[in-house]
Each structure stands twice: as C-alpha cells, then as structure tokens.
Amino acid sequence: MSKENILTAPFVKEMIEATQNMYQKGWDERNGGNITYLLNEEDVEKYLDLTEVKRVIPTIFDASKLANRYFLVTGSGKYFKNVHLAPEENIGLIRVQENGKNLDLLWGLENGAVPTSELPSHFMSHIARLSVDKEHKIVMHCHATHLLAMTFTHTPCEKELTRTLWQMCTECLVVFPEGVSLLPWLIPGTNEIGEATATAMKNTRLVLWAYHGVYGSGRDMDEVFGLIETAEKAAEVYTYVQAQGGVKQTITDENLWALAEAFGVTPRENYLEKI
C-alpha cells in the first residue's frame, strides 16, 4: 500500500507552523530553541515505512523508558526561520530503539543533521510529564524575551514570580494555575539541566531557565504555544509596569480566588493568601 506524503501530515504542518510563529515572535533567534513532539505509531505508519531506517543516531541519554516511541524533532544547529522552507533538512522523525541508547531516523534531518542537542532534556521532561499526564505530547523550548529578562530583575523565587505573572494578566491563573518553576543557571544540553527540568516538570508545565529561556509542555502544540505566549505576555506587561514607575494597584488574592472558582481551577497550594 502506498504511503501518503509526510509533508501533508497534521503533525508536520503543526511543527512548521509553530517554528515559524516562534521565530516571528522573536523567541528563537538563529538556532535558538527546540521542539519535540511525541507521536503514536498509527499516526506515523500512514506516511512512512517503519522498517526503513535512514540512519542510526547514538544518544548520550538512556531513553529506554521511551523505547519504541516516535518523536518529531527539530534539528541541532537548525534555524526555525528555515523549517518552512526545507522541512526535510531542519526537522526529523525518530524512533527510540529498544536499548534506549540509539535512535532510528525514519525521515528528515537530511545531509547528516542530528536532533537538537537538548534532546536529553526533552526526553527527561517527556518521561516526567508522562508520569503525571498520559495525554502529554509536546516539549517546547524557546528564549521568550520578557520572561528571560525577568530572571535578571525579579526576585528569584518561584512563588513570588508566579504571583507576579498571575497579577499581570487575568488569564494567567486560568492558563497555568500550577504556577511556574525556576531553575538557576545551568549549562544547556547536559544531563544536569535535563534532570532538574524533569523534576520541575512533575509539578508545572512551565520551567524558566534563569538567564536563558523557558521550557513548556502539554498535550498539543496549541496548548504549549499558548502557555508560553500567555506567560510571556504577562512578563511583557510587567516590563511596561516597571518602566512606568512600578505597581500601584493590582489583581488581589481575593480577586484571584474568585477567578479560580469561576473557571474551576485550583491555584498552587499556599501561593495565595487564605480568604
């Protein structure tokens, strides 16, 4: 049976659209940023012969907990602005081998390209999120400008940072009621930062890397893009507020409790004053 053209696959179209939108927002300069998209075998087999392996790529992380799982990934050193122009060169579809130490390249990453150098961090975050949400699919990393800036100027406290973001835009508590996590500066692409991010991902879908960027996760591309976009908008408002002389009035904890009740969400425990 002939296969459909993979460039028509919804998951490839979503990846192309997301990378283009992220680049246009200024979140992913040069080759900054990466996305991994967990796929079901039945999603992939309509487009590819799963027995045809283009290349075997070794990985420095033991991904045996993700054995035989399929991922659409962005490539190492690839520019998001080029993904829509040449998808086959800038993204690829991989399968984790049974041993967890090698990847089968099934499509894309042409001309010897390899998956993002932050693949270990992504894999660890996928494992962590799957342990708390079986519907999890996406891990997205970018350098959202205003969130990045806040890690230089805001008190380095997860609770206080979360409260500030909740207070900047009414939607924030509804979109990320569990808050955001904050990591100290660590070397990207290492198992150390991957492990720290994965630990945080068990509690929040948003993790800020101080002086670097943000990691987001969720069940689909729109959820994760919207999650980062909402937090970034709040950080932008915070930037304007500080430039205008600082907060003089804001959304109160009483307001936030009423908002949580109205939208059926549960704020992170002990982050709001009891009313």
Annotated binding site for Zn(2+): 141, 143, 212
Backbone angles phi, psi at 4, to 5 degrees: -75, 155
Cα–Cα nearest to 74, from 18, 21, 128, 147 = 18
d(CA 121, CA 119): 5
As annotated, the binding site includes 141, 143, 212
d(CA 50, CA 155): 49
Q: Tell me the HSE value of 194 on the side-chain side, using a 13 A CA sphere.
A: 18
Question: Which are the contacts of 102, defined by CB distance < 8 A and separation ≥ 6?
Answer: 56, 57, 58, 59
Sign of the alpha-carbon dihedral angle for 36, 42, 48, 49: positive
In contact, 125 and 119? CB cutoff 8 Å: no
| Strand, coil or helix: 193 | helix
Q: 29: exposed, middle or buried (C-beta count within 10 Å: 0-12, 13-18, 19+)? A: middle
Catalytic residues: 118
